Structure 1
Amino acid sequence: MADNYVRLDESAVKKLTSYLEGMPKQAPVAIARAMNRAIDSTKTEAARILKDNYTIKSSSVKQSLSVKKASKNELVAQFLSLANSASLSMSHYKFSPNKETTGKAFRPVTVEIRKGSPFEVKNGFVWNGTVFRRTGKKRLPIEVKTGPTVPQLLGQENAFEALQEKAEETFMKRLDHEVGALLKGVTK
């Protein structure tokens, strides 16, 4: 996850400065706007990749993805995927039955992390919307069943390289658009 930011190469900066020689104060504004649009589209693309391949809830994805926007004074935009813990509870994924299974005849609990690959949780049960597993032969001890975090899922899909490419592609398109808007006088 070392390359989780948008980089400007020298050719892009030279191209931009040649367009905006008469407006040196507007160049950082155009760059920052293009970077911010690119980083927002990267966040959207990351969420789409996860929703296409995994059954993780949207709220869990949105909580772990964040962006740091660029400004005309600081031309750095970052897309970050951070986890609050080492693992996510299985209740963040698709599981069945959705209702509590305590106090009733045994019903197997299945969890589906990757779409199309459900598995049964051995000695599992559902209580208060959370999937647990008995670790012994008696009622206690129990443990909360956990699965991978959002950064781990993105790493499994090798998504960071694709997201970097998407960000750079969007940045170049938006940069051309922003420069054109400045030259036409549409934006300031």
Structure 2
Amino acid sequence: MSKPFEVIISDGQSTLQLNRVAQALRGIPKGYEKAVSRAMNRAATAGRAAAVATIRNEYTLKASTIRRHFTIERASVGSLEALVIGKGTMLPLVQYKTRPKTDTTGNARKPVRVQVKRNGGTKRLGSSFVFKGKILQRLGTKSLPVKEAYGPAIPLIASNDEISRNVRNVMQETFAERIDHEAGYAINEFIKKKRG
């Protein structure tokens, strides 16, 4: 298992925007916490989407394959931090762009070609064949033993500086965009309860 990829957003860094929100919501019980946690959760969702899109732009993986390796730990009123976490082991090479897709054993022998990154062409994978939806590689000159061929794990890919920086930037921008809206929503919610 690769080391998990994590990006965190928290209210630990005091900003002018957060100070302004805290002032605006000071008379509303848990108003600040509600507004901040909602904005953080929006930011985390946007961060996960950015991670999927950025990896998809660089690697030949399907978006659904990438997305299932990411989870979000949501912020709450009691915990003002949200995390985007990428976990997983190395991916079977067949999940990247490969040719052919059908079995290459017996009379259907063809060379197996693989493309992991979009900016590189397909490369021939020596001593390999496709069998029952898996790419297998021979470990010697004989037919057996064989092992399944794997490509890089999602946490390893996501740790790339460009990808992690993009996720972090998207999360910070989304949080900055959402916090005022969520503060306004908390104020309206409080007014409605007072009237109701």
> TM-score surpassing 0.5?
yes
Contact 1:3 1:164 (C-alpha < 8 Å) held by counterparts: no
- What one-letter code is carried by the residue in structure 2 that aligns with 1:142? V
Q: Which residue of 1 aligns with 2:173?
A: 169
Which stretch of the first structure deviates more once superposed, 63-72 or 15-24? Answer: 15-24
CA 1:27–1:105: 2 relative to 1, 3 Å = closer
Question: RMSD of the TM alignment (CA)?
Answer: 2.0
**C-alpha distance after superposition, 1:28-84 (max 9, x if no partner):** 11111100000000000100011111111333212210000111121111110111x
Q: Tell whether 2:157 aligns with 1:153.
A: yes
CA 1:187–1:55: 2 relative to 1, 3 Å = farther
CA 1:79–1:3: 2 relative to 1, 3 Å = closer
Q: Which residue, 174, 184, 187 being the options, matches 1:183?
A: 187
Give the count of matched residue pairs.
Answer: 186
Give me the whole-angstrom Cα distance separating, in 1, the residues matched to 2:109 and 2:30.
70
Q: Which residue, 53, 74, 77 being the options, matches 1:72?
A: 77
Give me the whole-angstrom Cα distance separating, in 2, the residues matched to 1:93 and 1:20.
49
Map 1:88-107; keep pairs closer than 5 Å: 88-107=91-110
- What one-letter code is carried by the residue in structure 2 that aligns with 1:80? I
Q: Tell whether 2:7 aligns with 1:4.
A: yes
Give me the whole-angstrom Cα distance separating, in 2, the residues matched to 1:44 and 1:54.
15
**C-alpha distance after superposition, 1:115-166 (max 9, x if no partner):** 1421110011001111111122111121211110111111235311221121
**C-alpha distance after superposition, 1:95-122 (max 9, x if no partner):** 1101000112531100111014211100
- What one-letter code is carried by the residue in structure 2 that aligns with 1:69? R
- What one-letter code is carried by the residue in structure 1 that aligns with 2:153? T
CA 1:23–1:115: 2 relative to 1, 3 Å = same
3-state SS of paired residue (2:106): coil
Contact 1:99 1:126 (C-alpha < 8 Å) held by counterparts: yes
* Structure 1 segments unaligned to the other structure (5+ residues): none
3-state SS of paired residue (2:159): helix
TM-score, structure 2 length as denominator? 0.87
- What one-letter code is carried by the residue in structure 2 that aligns with 1:15? R
